[in-house]
Amino acid sequence: MLRIVAGTMHGLRSPVATSCDTMFADAHLKAGTILPLAADHEERAVYVIAGEIEIAGDRHGPERLLVLKPGDRIEVTAASDAHIVVVGGAAMDGPRHIWWNFVSSRKDRIEAAKADWKAGRFALVPGDTSEFIPLPPD
């Protein structure tokens, strides 16, 4: 079973609106099933949630993120009953920086977010009564 969560894949389109060319699909594969992955999206990856898959003769089990080469047509074969997600889309317009829960294309914005978090300037999530989580050490 293949469900397109967002974007497009295999000529199917999700009703979820996206702002760029995206692919996010959830697949439950019976052992022996082959799922072809066209090179329609510049960046693609497969995450194995459960079971075991094979790509080009290599087997991969649960909790594995497999980043695929751009332009390569890939076939995912279910070595056992498997649950995977396939994600992909157009490449971003530049590098992204990640620190804890902050992601930005500019390091100075991450530093500003760290200062805002530490000073309590982030709005609270409505209905969340959890205690404040301090910034982890650098």
The pLDDT tens digits of the residues spanning 102-121 come to 999 999 999 999 999 999 89
As a dihedral over the C-alpha atoms of residue 12, residue 24, residue 67, residue 98, rounded to 10 degrees, the angle is 150
Q: Say how many domains are in the chain.
A: 2
Alpha-carbon Rg for the chain, nearest whole angstrom, is: 19
Are 60 and 120 members of one domain? Answer: no
Are 121 and 67 members of one domain? Answer: no
CA distances from 70 to 4, 48, 88, 89, 134 (A): 21, 19, 10, 11, 39
- The model carries a pTM of 0.74
Are 65 and 119 members of one domain? Answer: no
Are 136 and 85 members of one domain? Answer: no
**Res 62 pLDDT > 90:** yes
Host domain of residue 128: 93-138
**Res 91 pLDDT > 90:** no
Rounded CA separation 40/82 (Å): 23
**Res 93 pLDDT > 90:** no
Are 72 and 7 members of one domain? Answer: yes
Are 85 and 17 members of one domain? Answer: yes
Are 51 and 25 members of one domain? Answer: yes
Are 19 and 76 members of one domain? Answer: yes
Are 56 and 114 members of one domain? Answer: no
Task: Residue 56: give its domain's CATH number.
Answer: 2.60.120.10
Are 118 and 67 members of one domain? Answer: no
